[in-house]
């Protein structure tokens, strides 16, 4: 029997995973205040806390080490990521990345998916490499066979870094396969999955064998483009690792403010509703792009025509699969809100499209309720060398869309009219 909400409120039960995703999002970490009865957590701005005697306190000493809002939000995060038990919030996704890589120590080696987020690539190659001698081998984890992947692992390999889908070319990684191979290797590297693009709603990497899940909470989890934050979620069997990372969280001090935690926790309460709308809209936009004579290629793994559509379906979380199966839509299924496509022409047509949309705002970032569009080669991935971008398929005519939750007819009209304007310049 699932625990009652009263049990959650009193902390009498820890079986949060037995509750539905949306129920956990709304209730876990948000118990009514015992003193006032307030249903929504208040914002605790205090930086320090009274001690009744030296070392005797109510769980808080100094807000860098712990804060009621951050603790509550971390509890929410751990419950949302299926299989999670430990949540750690950071001041940004980049700070989260830096903390994980610093935890590996000097002279370590990692294997990373080759099509990694530009900011992650920058930290791996231009910061960690110089400051701690960290070496990174970039591998096409989507297409690499077992032998190629195993050959990339060294005796000092501490971590496998996965994004799936990747940013921005939407490569899909078989997380279960990579995790199985990594854990069987004598080096025993940990497997980290950046789950930002799909959010805890569409994907549950911990259930597929990952050791750590990373999120840029700035994106879908917060969902309103008004918070910069990151997080790590770990399963119950990694208590020691979680404690080590929490030590670094405090020692480095890249922690989010109470107000940001409060905002992000509020955003997370509607994550399940927003992700369903993002996915439904994105599938419709992807189908429209696929029909357009002005589009060369559409990359959305939820499309039935996508070559790895079966891998996308297999990667769905249990709750997302339930939603997708109930939809029964022809031609594909909802798979998050991110789409990349190549417009016919080149950079000039891509820029004309991006400056001609009315509802899709030309801006970096993703995952907010509003629709955004950007040019990866010149914006989010401009720091990657041009030759490497070419190998990855980040071409001058590649456009990335973050499809929001506006009315779909309006979004389709906006896409179609902007494509017509861009096509007229050919």
96: closest CA among 217, 265, 223, 238?
217
Alpha carbons 78 and 29: distance in angstroms, whole number: 10
Alpha carbons 175 and 160: distance in angstroms, whole number: 11
Strands 361-362 and 372-374: parallel
**Within 13 Å of residue 382, how many CA atoms lie on the same side as its CB?**
6
Q: What is the 3-state secondary structure (H, E, C) of 89-125?
A: EECCHHHHHHHHHHCCCCCCEEEEECCCCHHHHHHHH
Alpha carbons 101 and 143: distance in angstroms, whole number: 25
> Of 194, 211, 260, 414, which is the active-site residue?
194
Residue in the block written with tokens 């041009």: 386
* The two three-digit tokens of residue 189, written as one number: 């590297």
Alpha carbons 344 and 16: distance in angstroms, whole number: 48
Catalytic residue list contains 15: no
Catalytic residue list contains 219: yes
Residue 176 has φ and ψ, to the nearest 5°, of -65, -40
* Torsion, CA 367, CA 373, CA 376, CA 382, rounded to 10: -90
Contact 88, 114 (CB under 8 A): no
Alpha carbons 232 and 79: distance in angstroms, whole number: 12
> Of 64, 122, 154, 344, which is the active-site residue?
64
Catalytic residue list contains 194: yes
> Of 158, 171, 219, 400, which is the active-site residue?
219
Contact 104, 222 (CB under 8 A): no
> Of 24, 117, 335, 342, which is the active-site residue?
117
Alpha carbons 85 and 64: distance in angstroms, whole number: 21
Alpha carbons 289 and 308: distance in angstroms, whole number: 18
Alpha carbons 13 and 163: distance in angstroms, whole number: 33
* Crossing angle of helices 258-268 and 68-80, rounded to 10°: 30
Catalytic residue list contains 409: no
Catalytic residue numbers, as ranges: 64, 117, 194, 219
């Amino acid at each position: 029997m699932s625990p009652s909400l009263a049990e959650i409120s009193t902390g009498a039960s820890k079986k949060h995973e037995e509750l539905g995703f949306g129920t956990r999002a709304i209730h876990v970490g948000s118990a009514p205040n015992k003193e006032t009865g307030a249903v929504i957590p208040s914002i605790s701005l205090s930086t320090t806390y009274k001690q009744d005697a030296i070392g005797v306190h109510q769980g808080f000493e100094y807000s860098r080490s712990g804060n009621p809002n951050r603790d509550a939000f971390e509890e929410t995060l751990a419950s949302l990521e299926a299989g999670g038990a430990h949540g750690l919030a950071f001041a940004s996704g980049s700070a989260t990345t830096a903390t994980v890589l610093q935890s590996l120590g000097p002279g370590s080696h990692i294997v990373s998916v080759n099509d990694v987020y530009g900011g992650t690539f920058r930290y791996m190659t231009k910061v960690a490499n110089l400051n701690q001698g960290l070496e990174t081998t970039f591998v096409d984890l989507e297409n690499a066979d077992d032998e190629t992947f195993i050959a990339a692992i060294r005796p000092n390999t501490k971590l496998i870094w996965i994004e799936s889908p990747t940013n921005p070319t939407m490569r899909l990684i078989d997380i279960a396969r990579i995790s199985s191979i990594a854990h069987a290797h004598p080096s025993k590297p940990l497997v980290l999955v950046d789950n930002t693009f799909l959010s805890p709603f569409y994907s549950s990497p911990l259930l597929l064998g990952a050791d750590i899940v990373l999120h840029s909470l700035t994106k879908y989890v917060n969902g309103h483009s008004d918070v910069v934050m990151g997080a790590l979620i770990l399963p119950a069997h990694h208590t020691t690792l979680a404690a080590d990372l929490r030590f670094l969280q405090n020692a480095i001090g890249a922690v989010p403010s109470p107000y940001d935690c409060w905002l992000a926790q509020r955003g997370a309460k509607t994550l399940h509703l927003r992700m369903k709308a993002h996915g439904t809209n994105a599938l419709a936009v992807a189908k429209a792009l696929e029909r357009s004579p002005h589009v060369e290629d559409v990359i959305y793994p939820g499309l039935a025509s996508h070559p790895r559509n079966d891998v996308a379906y297999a990667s769905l979380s249990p709750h997302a699969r339930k939603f997708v199966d109930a939809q029964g839509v022809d031609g594909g299924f909802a798979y998050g809100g991110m789409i990349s496509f190549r417009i016919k022409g080149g950079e000039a047509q891509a820029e004309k499209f991006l400056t001609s949309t009315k509802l899709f705002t030309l801006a970096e970032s993703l995952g907010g309720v509003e629709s955004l569009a950007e040019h990866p080669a010149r914006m989010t991935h401009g720091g990657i060398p041009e030759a490497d971008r070419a190998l990855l398929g980040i071409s001058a005519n590649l456009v990335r869309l973050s499809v929001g939750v506006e009315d779909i007819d309006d979004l389709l009209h906006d896409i179609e009219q902007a494509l017509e304007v861009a096509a007229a310049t050919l």
